[in-house]
Amino acid sequence: MKRYLFIISRTPYGSTHALEQLEAAMVAAVFDGRVAILCRDQGVWNLQGNQDGAPQGQKTVSRVLAALPTYDIEELYVCADSLSSQQIQPDASLDIKPLTFVEQQSLIAASDVVITAQP
């Protein structure tokens, strides 16, 4: 079983980056991978509370994130530095763990595959 890390680094509604990363993460979980997700840089906006994707005709990204445990994706991390610099108030329904830079290094090192889909 491979350990996958998906890094989300862009805002939820400015592009399809976040939703497409999450789709790939769910497929990896279905393939019996152990999947972790790390939001960092502008990607921390995906965790912001009170989101509604409907005006954009999109899924609400924070709700997709909240549904990840049903896909056996239990590890949702956020860069602590990005979280404070962007002043995000995370959605209360999300179980997220802030990580320091050193902890993010360890997470990346411990993963077999890192998928950034960097635009």
- In the complex, the residues that contact another protein under the rule CB under 8 A are 2, 4, 16-17, 20, 23-24, 27-28, 30-31, 33, 113, 115-119
Q: Which residue lies nearer to another protein by CB, 4 or 77?
A: 4
Smallest gap from residue 52 Cβ to another protein (A): 22
Smallest gap from residue 22 Cβ to another protein (A): 11
Smallest gap from residue 32 Cβ to another protein (A): 9
* Number of C-beta neighbours around residue 100 at 10 A: 11
Q: Which residue lies nearer to another protein by CB, 5 or 47?
A: 5
Smallest gap from residue 118 Cβ to another protein (A): 4
Terminal CA-CA length for the chain: 28
| Radius of gyration, CA atoms only, the chain | 13
Give every CB contact of residue 37 below 8 A, 6+ residues apart in sequence: 5, 6, 7, 8, 21, 22, 25, 65, 68, 73, 75, 76, 77
3-state class (DSSP) for residue 88:
coil
Q: Which residue lies nearer to another protein by CB, 9 or 48?
A: 9
Nearest alpha carbon to residue 47 among 91, 98, 10, 77: 91
Q: Which residue lies nearer to another protein by CB, 50 or 118?
A: 118
